[in-house]
Amino acid sequence: MLEARRCRTGAISIEALSARLGNTDVLADVDLELERGEWLNVIGANGAGKTTLLRCILGSVDYRGTIDIDGLDAAGGPNRARMIAYVPQVPVIPPGMAVIDYVLLGRTPHRGAFAGDSEYDLAVASTVLDRLDLHGFADREVNTLSGGERQRAVLARALAQQTPILLLDEPTTALDLGHQQDVLDLIDELRRERGLTVLATLHDLTLAARYGERIAVLSNGAVAVTGKPAEVLTVSLIAEHFRANVRIIDDPAGPVIVPVAHRPAKDAP
C-alpha cells in the first residue's frame, strides 16, 4: 500500500486506484476527487466496489495507486483517526458496552487510549446523542438496541470524533424514513457549519440525489460517470448499471427515482 500524502487541491484526491481481494480485482484505475466541504455520493450495484473504496481511503485494504488526504502527513495511526471518521455497514460492537461509552470511543484519537474522559469529551458526546435522538438510550447496552437505534449510535460515535472528513457506508441502513431524513439532514447541517467533507455510499438513488452535490457511479470496479444528480441519474444509465426499469420525476430538490413494476402481459381472450 502506498503512503497517503498531503493533498494539494482537495480534501481527498485518488489517482489510478486499484485493489484486489483474494483472487478478485475489486477496483481498477479509479480516479476521484473531493473538494473540501463537498458531499459526494458513490452509487453502484452490489459488488461494484463501493465499500472497498472507502476501506482503501481508511488504509484498511492494500491498494495500488495514490490516495492523497488533506492535512494527513503519514498513513495510519492517530493522525488518520483525527482526520477521518467512518460509519461502516457492519460495525463491531464490544459486548456489554453502554451507548455513552461507545460514543465516547470517538474521542479516543483526541485524548489517547488510556486517558480519562474530559468535561469537553462528555459534552461532545451528550450533544451528539441529543441531536440523534439517543439521549434516552445513553445507559443502554448497544447490543440491546434495535437495528435503527444501533445505526444511529454508530453514527454518533463517528460524529463525536469531530473529524473534517466523514466516510459513510450505507448510513441509512435499518433506519425508518423519518430517521433517514433526520440523520442526513444533520450530516448536511454539520457539513455547512464545519466545512465537513462527506463521502457516502447509498443504495437509495433518490436519497443520493437529494443529499450531496455530486454522484459517482461505480461499475465493475471503475468510475463510469460523475456529475450532478440530474445529469447522472437518467433512465438509460440506471438501466445499464443497475439493470432496473425506472421512471424519473423531476423535482426542484432533485430527481425522484420510481421503480416500474414488471407486470406479465394478460392472456389474450
pTM of this structure: 0.87
Query: Do 141 and 245 have their domain in common?
Result: no
Query: Do 60 and 175 have their domain in common?
Result: yes
> Are the CB atoms for 223 and 216 separated by under 8 Å?
yes
Query: Do 250 and 131 have their domain in common?
Result: no
Query: Do 181 and 247 have their domain in common?
Result: yes
Domain count, the chain: 2
In a domain, 85, yes or no: no
Tell me the residue range of the domain where 132 lies.
91-162
In a domain, 61, yes or no: yes
In a domain, 79, yes or no: no
DSSP character string of 1-56: -PPPB--SSSSEEEEEEEEEETTEEEEEEEEEEE-TT-EEEEE-STTSSHHHHHHH
Query: Do 131 and 209 have their domain in common?
Result: no
In a domain, 83, yes or no: no
Domain final residue, candidates 120, 145, 162 = 162
Tens digits of per-residue pLDDT, 52-63?
999 999 989 999
Query: Do 260 and 185 have their domain in common?
Result: yes
Domain final residue, candidates 162, 177, 205 = 162
In a domain, 84, yes or no: no
> Which value, in Å, is the radius of gyration of the alpha carbons in the chain?
20
Tens digits of per-residue pLDDT, 92-121?
888 999 999 999 999 988 876 677 889 999
The residue type at 81: A
Domain final residue, candidates 123, 143, 162 = 162
Query: Do 181 and 266 have their domain in common?
Result: yes
> Are the CB atoms for 87 and 167 separated by under 8 Å?
yes
Tens digits of per-residue pLDDT, 178-209?
888 888 998 999 899 888 999 999 999 999 99
